[in-house]
Structure 1
């Protein structure tokens, strides 16, 4: 619109960023005060030769102040915004990176409310930093954001956690994110992402569930959907099966179960007394085997848990053939480390 002379939209609660008016070479008045504008002021303003008044006060604008030629400086009012400095000049590199992130999300008002000034480690919501001022986590979970994942995340070289789940992001997961060597967790669950999942390091946990068009990698450690969730489900299933077996066995073999002082776990002596719970030594051995195997199935480290074929094999073996030291490594079961003393 090269013949546009005046834009006056003051006090209309307009949200979003200032549009590109670089072709409006005849523009003289840009009056946008008292709205909810966010984002960076486009640099084209400084190149409009006919501009005589710019009014942007009482908005939520961010980034650097625009620079104008002093020989033809217009009447300016930029008060009550969130610029990084009170004079034209470059912002801190961390601020530049995060505003580039916000740009691909269409400069959401929710971020602009706290992403103000020149230090993102000071009172910026959704950001955590270490003592040296390095950004360690960006948590934008469940903010109803739209847009794409920004390429500028690559500049946060010591980032450890990037949480983008529960939004409406589209596009793909960028390959450049695999260059973040210290990234421990990437959560992009429940979005509208598509394409292929890049090959992240085995040290990075990637949560991708809830993206119908995202092609999952076959790597065994690419997402929690194939490790954590399935592992928990399998572990719970094994535990439920074992306790159902215990209940069935007890119901079938004992007409009356009495738990008293003699039917207890004597933790002080590291012994298991099941004198009234079992009708004989064979029954007591079976119950102990089930307890040992169930504890083995809930080891803290998933790699220490047995396969189902091994569970069946151990339940068929004699109690004396089970080596507790070789199957129980978790600190949650110290009372059973010497429980085989109850046989003597």
Structure 2
């Protein structure tokens, strides 16, 4: 409670992370610098009361109230809030609402308030429109004050026992009762354009022919004949209620921002002579007005752009539309035939041009690939794949692969060394090092294949991911090459390296560096089954920092910005020194700076999906930040992101952790019981990581930090790691600064071979080949 003080400002991040806030009151602080209603409050899901009257709030009320399922009281009166009521008010549980006496006045209608139980104090604003029946019928309504607004329509009648004040408005009658039919129709027309203030201030009383702006009546003064909204900058739609004004002769709606379709009810107006909707954004079919109607609809590029069927001409060519130039309605039917012929010719030309461009592209593409050194191989498969949606795990190496496309290429297929630097690896070598893909060598299984451990003749280990052709979908060679090229661009100490790949008949294989300690998931959730000691806190926070650095590189330090989209413990692999590397790049997506994309199919794993991604498919780097926050919670608690063995209120880790993240005492109860927490320094470290986890899993993406911030928070908590030997710096003898062609040449030189390759075109880096690869990995024909 901060009421009745002389505060001058509120810090920018004051409300960030207040996950346990229930009541906040800062009313009667008129000396505060103007501030907006805080969107950071979305972290405060337990909020019950927010009081900030007479505290110099400005701007509009943000549409964030679905984040407050427990909010019952909101007092924002005597401020300078503008705009309309947010739609999320309509679904909230707010019982007591005070928004009165804004300096400039709130605007718009009050329809969204129809689900509130104890509506209070909406007086002294500029609300327009009619009071909806939903407000009058609220079963628990106790008190409502709507006085001194610009509300229109019939006077509302509330149920017995409801205390109400509705004075000083613009109701059509001083007593309850229906409005004149013409008044009712015109108010519906006004509602379709949002009850603009120009209409609310002028359209008062129960006679539209007495002083109503934009309306003209006949000589008797009883019937509305003209409605002129031309050039008023109105937004909204055209109301079908215009059809109820049976004496209308002229309707001018030109030069506004109207959308939607033209109601068919207007066609039946017997007296209509002029209907002008030019220069709007209307769409849908063009109605067929009588020949006597001058119908103008220029400047509506979407109007009539429905999908043609049969031999119909393009929209707008039908008889009776009057054209778009304002000429009388009607046009010859012959125009439909000629227009159809024109469309057919245009389509034919476009198809022909497309075929020519496709042939040209294929020819040029073949010439371009020739400089990379073509290798003929009659045994190479005719079906190619591209990583796509995944929800399974194969010990961290299992990217999802789907949509296989069959491409018959006759007797031969072309294989290339791509510009990215990856090498095609002999299938015979992979069979040999995995003991012919023996079950004894299986590291993990996923929905799209199996991961095998391979061992070279000198003892060096690799991981071979073998995709099952039977579960693949359709994607072409170009996309497969592009995916390999992406994987060669992301090279970092804390990202598992792709060493190469193989295509053999219907099989697709990827070769990765081997991580001997398996996945973080095994060490967090299955340590007893694997008979390994549980991770210490020092190991956990060190792993978190490694992951943060790897993902930070993906987001902002690589040649391009990438989004992982499936960050989780089973995709975090550990070496013998328990240093972590992020794996499974099957879902990696390019993310151009300043942009986002919308996915039509979800990728990733439930429990780690950011809310905006799961709800809308919107993908930004912040979806990885959210997943990283979930991983932090798992490191702290030893619990899985989703655990169906627990009660409903505890099975979703993020929801449960938000309730726990209230005090240090609660955090103590949530800590993994295998951790030693007697040390105060350890507890302080856990608290900081818990706070970071809360920020990373904020509901709104803009409230989450970037991964650079996570690195800065975790860095001081981890002792500086220095390799015991310089050659270990990049892990397991892999030199991340050397391209694969350079490495091949060095290996050959070291072993005194005479083989030579023209690899000068390759620029991107690739891990150098472990000892023992020189004899076996030079095969470029997959045999």
Q: CA RMSD in A?
A: 1.9
2:143 aligned with 1:53, yes or no? yes
Alpha-carbon displacement from aligned partner over 1:263-319 (angstroms, at most 9, x marks no partner): xxxxxxxxxxxxxxxxxxxxxxxxxxxxxxxxxxxxxxxxxxxxxxxxxxxxxxxxx
Q: Give runs of aligned pairs for residues 252-331 of structure 1, distance below 5 A.
A: none
Residue 135 (str. 1) matches residue 235 (str. 2): no
Alignment partners' CA distance in 2, 1:61 and 1:110: 13
CA contact (8 A) 2:238 2:262 kept: yes
Counterpart secondary structure, 1:31: coil
1:50, distance to aligned residue in structure 2 (A)? 3.4
Residue of 170, 175, 180 corresponding to 1:92: 180
CA contact (8 A) 1:197 1:217 kept: no
Runs of 4+ with >4 A deviation? none
Report the CA distance between 1:182 and its aligned residue: 0.8
Distance 1:16 1:164 in 2: 21
Q: Which residue of 2 aligns with 1:22?
A: 114
Deviation at 1:220, TM superposition (A): 7.3
Is residue 103 of structure 1 aligned with residue 195 of structure 2? no
Distance 1:125 1:199 in 2: 30
Structure 2 vs 1, CA of residues 48 and 222 (structure 1 numbering), >3 Å: closer, same or farther? same
Q: Which one of the candidate residues 59, 77, 80 is aligned to 2:168?
A: 80
Q: Deviations over 1:233-284 (max 9, x none)?
A: xxxxxxxxxxxxxxxxxxxxxxxxxxxxxxxxxxxxxxxxxxxxxxxxxxxx
Per-residue deviation, 1:118: 0.7
DSSP-derived class of the 1:128 partner = strand
Q: 1:122-161 residue pairs with structure 2 within 5 A?
A: 122-130=210-218, 131-161=220-250
User: Mean alpha-carbon deviation: is it higher for 45-54 or for 31-40?
Assistant: 45-54
Corresponding residue of 2:732: none
Partners of 1:101 and 1:152 within 8 A in 2: yes
Counterpart-to-counterpart distance in 2, 1:29 and 1:196: 42
Matching of residue 197 in structure 1 with residue 197 in structure 2? no
Secondary structure in 2 matching 1:54: strand
Instruction: Give the equivalent residue in structure 2 for 1:237.
Output: none
Q: How far, CA to CA, are the matches of 1:146 and 1:139 in structure 2?
A: 15
Q: Secondary structure at the match of 1:165?
A: coil
Which residue of structure 2 lines up, in the alignment, with residue 222 of structure 1?
322
CA distance in 1, matches of 2:287, 2:138: 44
- Answer yes or no: is the 8 Å Cα contact 1:205–1:224 preserved in 2: no
1:168 counterpart = 2:257 = yes
Moved more, 156-165 or 38-47: 38-47
**Contact 2:295 2:327 (8 Å CA) reproduced:** no
In structure 2, how many angstroms separate the alpha carbons of the residues matched to 1:170 and 1:112? 21
Shift of 1:178: 0.8
Under a length normalisation based on structure 2, what TM-score does the superposition of the two structures give?
0.28
**Cα separation, 2, equivalents of 1:96 and 1:103:** 10
Change (3 A) 1:3 1:178: closer
> Is the CA contact (8 Å cut-off) linking 2:279 and 2:299 kept in structure 1?
yes
Report the equivalent of 2:128: 38
Structure 2 distance, partners of 1:227, 1:78, is: 49
Q: Does 1:117 align with 2:205?
A: yes
- Structure 2 unpaired stretches of 5+: 1-90, 305-315, 329-783
CA contact (8 A) 1:67 1:88 kept: yes
Q: CA deviation at 1:173?
A: 1.5
Q: Report the 3-state secondary structure (helix = DSSP H, G, I; strand = E; otherwise coil) of the residue aligned with 1:83.
A: coil
| Residue pair 2:288, 2:321 contacting (<8 A) in 1 also | no
Asked whether the 8 Å contact 2:209–2:217 carries over to 1, the reply is yes
The separation in 2 between residues aligned to 1:163 and 1:213, in whole angstroms, is 19
Distance 2:214 2:157 in 1: 30
Structure 1 unaligned spans of 5+:
229-344
Shift of 1:87: 1.6
CA contact (8 A) 1:193 1:211 kept: yes
Distance 1:85 1:202, change over 3 A: same
Q: Residue 46 of structure 1: CA displacement?
A: 2.6
For 1:9 and 1:116, how far apart are their aligned partners in 2?
24
CA distance in 2, matches of 1:79, 1:149: 31
Deviation at 1:125, TM superposition (A): 0.2
Name the SS of the counterpart of 2:111 in structure 1.
Answer: coil
Q: Could you tell me how far 1:195 is from its partner in structure 2?
A: 2.1
Q: Which residue of 2 aligns with 1:11?
A: 101
Question: For each residue in 1:52-93, what CA deviation from the matched residue of structure 2 results, as whole angstroms up to 9, or x when unmatched?
Answer: 3221122110001111233x131x222221101112111111
TM-score with structure 1 setting the length: 0.61
* Distance in 2 (alpha carbons) for counterparts of 1:91 and 1:119: 9
Q: 1:183-222: CA deviations, max 9, x gaps?
A: 0000000000112211110000001111111232343771
Residue 189 of structure 1 contacts residue 211 of structure 1 at CA under 8 Å; is this kept in 2? yes
Provide the residue aligned with 2:155 in structure 1: 65
